[in-house]
Amino acid sequence: MRGVHIVEFGAGTLRFLDQLPARAPHDGFVWIYLEREHLEEDLPVLQRAAQTLGGSPLLDLHVKDLGNRGHPSSYDYTSVYDLVIFRRLATESEVRAELGEAVVARHAPLSAFSRIRTRALGFVAFDRLLITVHPAGCFAARAFIERYLQDALNSEGLSASARSRLPSGAADLMLRMLNLVVDSYLELRKVLSTELDRWQQALLAPNSGEADWGALMTARNALHTLQDLCEEQNDAMQEWLDSQREQPPPWMTQSERDGLLARARDVVEHVERVVHHVNRMEQSAETAVQIHFSAVGNRTNDIMRTLTALTAIFLPLNLIAGIFGMNFELLPLTHQAAGFWWTLATMGMIALVLGIVFWRKRYLARTGH
């Protein structure tokens, strides 16, 4: 049992155990936490706990789901327990270990999007037992363990404020962890929005160089992945919420049931906020690309307009030069001493008049972008 952590929640109290209790507390529940890497070797302990404290062993199919690193967010159930798979954001160290130092360089355009990776969390919720399976060093479990351990060390009996922070049941603790996981997505919004705004400003700058379209495609794929992920999370939570409404636990009081449903709706609302923000960032990126091409088109039109005006200015000058370049014996002004200067002055006057006309019509005006 070196990978299994056991916490027993009683009536306003909690304690950390080294062995499985003989039975679940009448007015509380037991939380068993382990890392996915130890699932196979500690499976007999989990099955014994599920049978003794929950009333039914875990199905083999559900055990495979708990051990699957790439399992999408989903919800399943039996007559005795609920199974929820939920994907959380990978931490910076997990991303660095997966992608390497060179890939996660922060100075690269839209680098935050390329670092979006997720890890699967598994929750098995009985009436009096919660089993959670996490990746190694998972912050979702560590945060609650450290919090409850600190509460337990502060005093032999928990204070009133500490008791109020304790979960009322297995499902309540699961929802608190899910809420923490979803909050990490909400915190990611600011980072993604800042990078996307910076990229848009660079893209729309008047003297911007070649746009990094590879970074944009990576960002769009990351947003699509994030959207699909949040939709899966939303579906899983909605199904779990519907099952709680249709078949509420008989031992739970109405106030406890209302509080549990309120917390579940809060998780769903947070997931929907993430989906809404992802959709908004996708639209913003598409709008920036359209504005970029519109600006490029306007700059091209300005260049073509200027070149056309210059061509129109030199066209009559070329005509005059062509006429006086004909191989005829007698041409006006060709044999006069001032003929060249009269011709040159006439050509200059024509160019000046056309330049003034085109400038007043803004054919040669400089426009800002």
| Tens-place pLDDT, residues 273-288 | 888 888 888 887 777 7
More confident of the two residues 160 and 222: 222
C-alpha span between 33 and 66 (Å, rounded): 12
49 within 8 A of 30, measured Cβ to Cβ: yes
Domain 4-294 - what CATH class? alpha beta
Provide mean pLDDT across the span 75-99.
87
pLDDT in tens, 308-317: 888 888 888 8
Domain 300-360 - what CATH class? mainly alpha
Residues 6 or more apart whose Cβ sits within 8 Å of residue 320: 343, 346, 347, 350
**pLDDT computed for residue 278 by the predictor:** 86
Amino acid found at 354:
L
**pLDDT computed for residue 333 by the predictor:** 72
Q: Is the pLDDT of residue 207 over 70?
A: no
**pLDDT computed for residue 232 by the predictor:** 92
85 within 8 A of 137, measured Cβ to Cβ: no
Q: Is the pLDDT of residue 103 over 60?
A: no
Q: Is the pLDDT of residue 210 over 60?
A: no
More confident of the two residues 255 and 100: 255
More confident of the two residues 209 and 338: 338
Q: How confident is the model at residue 253 (pLDDT cuts 50, 70, 90)?
A: confident
**pLDDT computed for residue 321 by the predictor:** 82
Amino acid found at 199:
W
Residues 6 or more apart whose Cβ sits within 8 Å of residue 293: none
**pLDDT computed for residue 160 by the predictor:** 47
Q: Where in the chain is the domain with CATH 3.30.460.20?
A: 4-294
9 within 8 A of 41, measured Cβ to Cβ: no
Provide mean pLDDT across the span 200-214.
67
Using a 10 angstrom Cβ sphere, with 0-12 exposed, 13-18 middle and 19 or more buried, the burial of residue 69 is exposed
Q: Which residue has the tokens 């679940």?
A: 24
C-alpha span between 196 and 213 (Å, rounded): 13
pLDDT in tens, 140-197: 878 877 777 676 555 455 454 444 567 888 999 999 999 988 988 888 888 888 888 8
Provide the mean pLDDT of the chain. 82
**pLDDT computed for residue 365 by the predictor:** 66
Using a 10 angstrom Cβ sphere, with 0-12 exposed, 13-18 middle and 19 or more buried, the burial of residue 26 is exposed
C-alpha span between 231 and 234 (Å, rounded): 5
- pTM for the full predicted model: 0.74
Angle ∠(45,46,52) on CA atoms, nearest 5: 90
Q: Which residues are paired to 131 by β-bridges?
A: 32, 124
Q: Where in the chain is the domain with CATH 1.20.58.340?
A: 300-360
pLDDT in tens, 8-44: 988 778 888 889 998 888 888 999 999 999 999 999 9
Q: Is the pLDDT of residue 352 over 60?
A: yes
Q: How confident is the model at residue 249 (pLDDT cuts 50, 70, 90)?
A: confident
Q: Is the pLDDT of residue 106 over 60?
A: no
